[in-house]
Amino acid sequence: MKSCLILIDAQESFRQRPYFTERDLPAYLAAQNALIEGCVARGVPVVRIFHVDGPKTAANPFALESGHVRPLSELTAFDAAATFHKSRHSALVGTGLEVWLTQNGIQKLIISGIRTEQCGETTARHASDLGWTVAYVTDATLTFDMQLPDGSPLTSTDIKARTAAVLRDRFATICTVADALDSIS
């Protein structure tokens, strides 16, 4: 089964958001870089997705004009098989990614990146509904604490656990970096 790593929104734009924290970043980067390096070593194409949205001004960190729509500085450098810009949560909406995957005979998507419960989860669900086999690599995803409607905290750890629970066995296989790499060896 031909696989492809989809690296979603691992971009400097997030550092400009008030909710951004470095707390979970080192663990995420270690896992994400191991996944990238493992895929590259195995000849698995790596597709880079950037979120580009909002006013086209330098003040908007998700606008190309800001200069922040670029890879996180700590990411392992690699030659992307393709790069797509998205303006929706799913990387498959309006980007050309679906066409690229089909033209390249990709059957399995390995999904990683930022944010776990938003663009990562949405892309995983969408890809599954379109017929791809999906491996969701939770340790190679990053998200940030949020608040529940009543104002109580919802930690990034709880968000990741919830995402794994709702995707597992319905939309994706939930796996670690090691599991994902073993599945393509």
Residue 45: CB atoms within 10 A of its CB come to 19
Cα atoms found within 13 Å of the Cα of residue 77, Cβ hemisphere only: 0
Residue 61: CB atoms within 10 A of its CB come to 19
Kindly state the DSSP code that residue 120 receives in the 8-state scheme: I
Task: Look at residue 185 in the predicted model and tell me its pLDDT.
Answer: 67
Task: Look at residue 110 in the predicted model and tell me its pLDDT.
Answer: 98
The pTM of this model reads 0.96
pLDDT 10s digit of each residue in the chain, 185 long? 999 999 999 999 999 999 999 999 999 999 999 999 999 999 999 999 999 999 999 999 999 999 999 999 999 999 999 999 999 999 999 999 999 999 999 999 999 999 999 999 999 999 999 999 999 999 999 999 999 999 999 999 999 999 999 999 999 999 999 999 999 96
Domains and CATH numbers, the chain: 3-183 (3.40.50.850)
Contact 90, 124 (CB under 8 A): no
Alpha-carbon distance values, 154 to 2, 31, 42, 143, 149 (Å): 37, 23, 37, 11, 10
